[in-house]
Amino acid sequence: MWSVFTLNRPLVWTGIAAMASMSLLPTLMLRLAALVIVTIGALDAWRQIRLEATRRRLTEAALTLSPDGVVISNSHNRIEAVNPAFTHITGYSDDEIRGLDPSVLSSGRHDKAFYEHYWQTLNATGQWEGEVWNQRKHGDQFPEWLRVRAVADDKGRVTHYVGLFTDITRHKAREQDLQRIGFEDPLTGLPNRRRLHDLLASRLQRLRAGEGLDIALIDIDGFKAVNDTMGVDKGDRLLSRFGQRLDAFVAGGVVGRLGGDEFMVIRTTTYDDHEQWVEGLRGHLSEPFEIGDKPLRLGLTIGTCRAPEDGRDPGVLFQRLESALYAAKRHGRNHSQRFRPSLEVAGDPQLELLNELRQALAHGTQLELFYQTQHYLDDGRLAGMEALLRWYHPTHGMISPATFIPLAERHGLMASLGDWVIDHACAQLSTWRQQGLSFVPVWINISAVQLIQGDLESRLSASLSKHNVPAAMLGLELTESVLLDERAGDISTRLVALRDKGHPIAIDDFGTGYSSMAYLKQLPVDKLKLDRAFVRALPDDSADAAITSAVLAMARGLGLDVVAEGVETEAQRDYLRAEGCAMVQGFLYARPERVTDVERRLKGDLEVSLS
Ligand code: C2E
Ligand code: MG
Ligand code: MG
């Protein structure tokens, strides 16, 4: 490029002309004058070359320093050069990407029309700017703000395209809606536990032959002491610097904060150098941090594992990392431990419980569905039944679902546990139908995880058809938090489809979440279950009484049924009846019971004559 530029200079041309004419000139004086002109031309050319070289060096330095990704492609749309920020953001090195079409980064989220419009604008105006979703080398998708310019030669022909882009994942996450679902740790701006779970899942899915994941869970030793002695502000600053430093180390990988002083790192790799990688991480983080007056050197406890060797399920891998970290902690400070199966149950009661739950699920013998009847308030008739899961632990006895369901949700077991419930509820309904006992729907509780991870819709259809039970007999209870969880996709559309299949749908624990009236109105819901927290203090607590009346009035307005949960006393029942509540569920009518007990009541006197 410099030569074209240099030859454009008049002095250089004059020098060349002088050189050509030198031998033709008649006198020595004229030849000398020509020589001077040649020298000036040559000096000017030399100066230009140096200037151009300096300019190129500076440009390269600026591109190297730029936090924005830069990609230069030629007129055939083949990549010719990228800067280090490009590699950091996308995971592709200069060597890997050179010669490829930029469409290797495409996430598949944009349709043909989008790219047609992109090229039309770029060809017509020479530039394009906008938001694009691309995909990193290892599979996670990310939003970027992209500016592209077409660069033309002096004849106006496009020779290159220069693209400049910023990874706007964090900006996006700051946008209000993403903020609400909370994919980002607010202190460090790194992905939080939930997002890490998703990122791990997508990396696992995209592993190619010969690739593996190195995963590490890092805990800062004695962080509490930092907080206590230096103050929470400095503690926060340390966490944030720590996150930044980790992030810088793991180019193309994933770094996130699980909470407290726990960070997680994932990298996709073809190397089998897990231990060296962990030591590399440790070395990088052992440099002191400048937080207070004195440099602060941190001790780290690290639990690690590798996928697929140590598992292919994100929930299982999370749990194994925690086992490894827990084992490392028991060794004392500044220790790293890679997962081994023998660590899994060594002494952590939670993990032990989880392992036992996994066993219980595999064998199915310790799990059982109890049924609690629901009744019409006016005459006590049976209105429905809720299936409630029970776990009989061989040594701890009955464990409450309030304890083991959250555990299963956190550790990747909920989808299978939910499938177990669906299948057993359908089997029970089928038996009751054959015995001529079933004429009210059975309601099952659906966890958010089933909507997000499991394939709820197909599991429901498969179980219903296997047991020959109509969908109208299987009601679905979803809590407000499930309805608001955007990881489940467009929940409203999914609910419409489930209801079209015939499932009745109820909002469980109503009043404990934040669903607005406007939102509720759009949802295809049949029933609200008023949370027992409001029923408990009825009728004396005036605030609860006011909420109950308001919910009942609102439900009437929307044409929804209401079941009041947790009715234990006659006073509560009378108040609810006076306020126009149609249905109740609670110990006053029936406790959750085993199948044999429910059957006895179904066969005998069904009506509970408490009215
Ligand atoms: P939930 O769906 O709101 O279920 C009602 C809970 O209230 C049950 O507790 C039931 O035993 C209890 N209950 C019913 N009547 C009364 C009453 O009059 N007084 C009092 N104090 N309590 C009453 P349980 O069976 O311990 O279940 C707790 C929660 O565990 C359930 O709350 C539900 O969120 C979850 N759960 C239970 N089984 C399943 C399941 O199969 N799948 C899922 N995803 N969650 C389940
Ligand atoms: Mg429920
Ligand atoms: Mg409830």
User: In the 8-state DSSP scheme, what is residue 488?
Assistant: G
Separation between Cα atoms, residue 264 and residue 537, nearest integer Å? 44
CATH class of the domain at 180-347: alpha beta
User: In the 8-state DSSP scheme, what is residue 472?
Assistant: G
- Nearest CA owner, ligand 1 atom 27: 401
**pTM of the entire predicted model:** 0.54
Residues with CB under 5 A from ligand 2 (ion): 445, 477, 508
| Ligand 2 centroid – CA 576 distance (Å) | 19
The predicted structure's pLDDT at residue 542: 85
Separation between Cα atoms, residue 157 and residue 148, nearest integer Å? 16
Does the CB atom of residue 566 touch ligand 1 within 6 A?
A: yes
Q: What is the mean pLDDT of each run of 10 residues along the chain (611 residues)?
A: 48 71 76 82 85 81 84 94 93 94 88 86 90 89 90 91 88 54 74 86 89 95 84 88 89 86 93 92 90 85 94 88 85 88 68 85 90 94 95 91 86 86 96 88 92 80 94 93 68 88 93 65 87 89 85 87 95 95 96 94 58 39
Distance from chain centroid for Cα 31: 78
The predicted structure's pLDDT at residue 611: 39
| Ligand 3 centroid – CA 512 distance (Å) | 10
Does the CB atom of residue 211 touch ligand 1 within 6 A?
A: no
**In 271-313, alpha helices (H):** 274-286
The topology under which CATH files domain 69-167 is Beta-Lactamase (3.30.450)
Pocket test for ligand 1, best of 444, 445, 534, 589 (most atoms within 8 A of CB): 445
**In contact, 38 and 46? CB cutoff 8 Å:** no
- Nearest CA owner, ligand 1 atom 16: 566
- Nearest CA owner, ligand 1 atom 15: 586
- Nearest CA owner, ligand 1 atom 4: 388
Beta bridge partners of 132: 144
Peptide bond into 288 cis (omega under 30): no
- Nearest CA owner, ligand 1 atom 34: 445
Domain residue ranges in the chain: 2-63, 69-167, 180-347, 355-610
Does the CB atom of residue 405 touch ligand 1 within 6 A?
A: yes
| Ligand 3 centroid – CA 262 distance (Å) | 33
Q: Which residues make Cβ contacts (< 8 Å) with residue 111, sequence separation at least 6? A: none
Separation between Cα atoms, residue 300 and residue 298, nearest integer Å? 6
User: In the 8-state DSSP scheme, what is residue 481?
Assistant: H
The predicted structure's pLDDT at residue 412: 72
**What DSSP string describes 496-512?**
HHHHHHT--EEEEEETS
Separation between Cα atoms, residue 400 and residue 391, nearest integer Å? 7
The predicted structure's pLDDT at residue 453: 64
User: In the 8-state DSSP scheme, what is residue 557?
Assistant: H
The predicted structure's pLDDT at residue 5: 43
| Ligand 3 centroid – CA 508 distance (Å) | 5
Peptide bond into 308 cis (omega under 30): yes
The predicted structure's pLDDT at residue 340: 87
Separation between Cα atoms, residue 581 and residue 376, nearest integer Å? 9
Separation between Cα atoms, residue 315 and residue 197, nearest integer Å? 8
**In contact, 214 and 267? CB cutoff 8 Å:** yes
The predicted structure's pLDDT at residue 12: 67
Q: Thinking of the domain 355-610, which architecture would CATH place it in?
A: Alpha-Beta Barrel (3.20)
Separation between Cα atoms, residue 416 and residue 358, nearest integer Å? 9
Ligand 1 atom index nearest CA of 389: 38
- Nearest CA owner, ligand 1 atom 12: 566
Separation between Cα atoms, residue 564 and residue 574, nearest integer Å? 12
- Nearest CA owner, ligand 1 atom 3: 509
| Ligand 1 centroid – CA 371 distance (Å) | 10
Geometric angle at alpha carbon 34, from 30 and 35, rounded to 5° = 115
Ligand nearest to the CA of 587: 1
